[in-house]
């Protein structure tokens, strides 16, 4: 099944009189089981594209279908609803709430979704186990390593079982060993059927994916299978 289908997507940013075309006609399809690296120079449009795929922003022109539903013309509220249900986000800077425990951080999306407290807790404990963080539920984010913080962010992104996991430079703040560990976690989730899109500048991070899309000046420059995909060895520690 096709999870993401973009056709002829353009994005024009307007700043007063000045217009800038950040995406110049991008067509892209991502299937359910895929794990894709999005690469390209700084300013090429990667984050812009991720924000459109993640329904945080809308294209100026072109169409977008997410999991078979045309989401191009949805209202702000409808987009928020679809976003909460279908999209998981992981960011470079983790974006955890510092005063909430690990468990509470993971519960936040479930709270917004109106899931009752007991089920919330149960699901949060389950996804934390899934990312290898059992035993850390009561910690504060400040009491975790960088890799552990990012795994909390991944757990939080997974609580509502999204169709697509979007990660914008998720390993940018991590050392190479920890970065590889987070990528292995993404691979495992991908093996379980979640589509994953990872923005990265680093070739060795992209090597963990099955497909590499390169973007330059708002265009897709190349798009193809990654012949060097590195498969996980063992589980996540
Ligand atoms: N809100 C905005 N208003 C105006 N221009 C913007 C806005 N957001 C992005 N741009 C411009 O659009 C272009 C693409 O930006 P984008 O953030 O998508 O790049 P990127 O590929 O993610 O770069 P990086 O690797 O540095 O994160 C850049 O030239 C940027 O200056
Ligand atoms: Mg960016």
100-152 pLDDT per residue, tens: 999 999 999 899 889 999 999 999 999 999 889 999 999 999 999 999 999 99
State whether the beta carbon of 43 lies less than 6 angstroms from ligand 1. Answer: yes
The yes-or-no verdict on residue 232 having pLDDT over 80 is no
Cβ(88) to ligand 1 under 6 A?
Answer: no
CA separation for the pair 107, 123 (Å, rounded): 8
DSSP string over 149-184: HHHHHHHHHHTT--SEEEEESTTTTS-HHHHHHHHH
Q: What pLDDT, on a 0 to 100 scale, did the predictor assign at position 231? A: 78
Neighbour count for residue 84 (Cβ, 10 Å): 15
Asked if pLDDT for residue 235 goes beyond 80, the answer is: no
Which residues 6+ apart lie within 8 Å of 159 measured at CB?
106, 107, 109, 110, 123, 124, 127
- Compute the distance between CA of residue 204 and CA of residue 164 in angstroms, rounded to an integer: 22
User: Residue 35 has what pLDDT?
Assistant: 96
Q: What percent of the chain has pLDDT over 90?
A: 76
Q: Is pLDDT at 236 greater than 80 in this prediction?
A: no
| Distance from chain centroid for Cα 162 | 10
Strand partners, 144: none
Q: Is 22 close to ligand 1, i.e. is its CB under 6 Å away? A: yes
CA distance 202 to 204: 6
33 alpha carbon to ligand 1 midpoint, in Å?
28
Say yes or no to pLDDT of 237 above 80: no
Least confident of 54-63, 101-110, 194-203, 225-234: 225-234
142 lines ligand 1 (CB under 6 A): no
Percent of the chain residues topping a pLDDT of 70? 97
pLDDT-derived band at 228, boundaries 50, 70, 90:
confident
Query: How many Cα atoms sit within 13 Å of 161 on the Cβ side?
Result: 4
Ligand 2: distance of its center to the CA of 129 in Å?
Answer: 30
- Residues 3-43 have pLDDT tens digits of 999 999 999 999 999 999 999 999 999 999 899 999 999 99
Q: Is the CB of 20 under 6 A from ligand 1?
A: yes
- The pLDDT-based confidence of 60 (bands split at 50, 70, 90) is very high
The pLDDT-based confidence of 92 (bands split at 50, 70, 90) is confident
Please name each of the domains of the chain with its CATH number: 35-58+74-225 (3.40.50.300)
Distance CA 195, CA 38 (A): 13
pLDDT at 233: 60
């Amino acid at each position: 099944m096709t999870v993401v289908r973009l056709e002829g997507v353009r994005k024009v940013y307007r700043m007063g009189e000045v217009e800038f075309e950040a995406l110049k006609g991008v067509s892209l399809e991502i299937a359910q089981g895929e794990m894709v690296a999005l690469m390209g120079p700084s300013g090429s449009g990667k984050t812009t594209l991720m924000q459109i795929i993640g329904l945080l922003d809308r294209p100026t022109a072109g169409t977008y279908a997410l999991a078979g539903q045309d989401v191009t013309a949805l209202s702000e509220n409808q987009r928020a609803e679809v976003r909460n249900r279908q999209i998981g986000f992981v960011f470079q800077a983790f974006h955890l709430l510092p005063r909430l425990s690990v468990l509470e951080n993971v519960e936040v999306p479930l709270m917004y979704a109106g899931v009752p407290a007991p089920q919330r807790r149960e699901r949060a404990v389950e996804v934390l186990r899934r990312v290898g963080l059992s035993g850390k539920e009561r910690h504060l984010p400040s009491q975790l390593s960088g890799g552990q913080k990012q795994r909390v962010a991944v757990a939080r992104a997974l609580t509502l079982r999204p169709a697509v996991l979007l990660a914008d430079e998720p390993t940018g703040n991590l050392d190479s060993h920890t970065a590889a560990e987070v990528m292995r976690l993404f691979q495992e989730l991908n093996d379980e059927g979640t589509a994953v899109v990872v923005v990265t500048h680093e070739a060795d991070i992209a090597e963990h994916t099955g497909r590499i899309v390169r973007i330059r000046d708002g265009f897709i420059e190349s798009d193809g299978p990654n012949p060097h995909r590195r498969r996980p060895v063992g589980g996540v520690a």
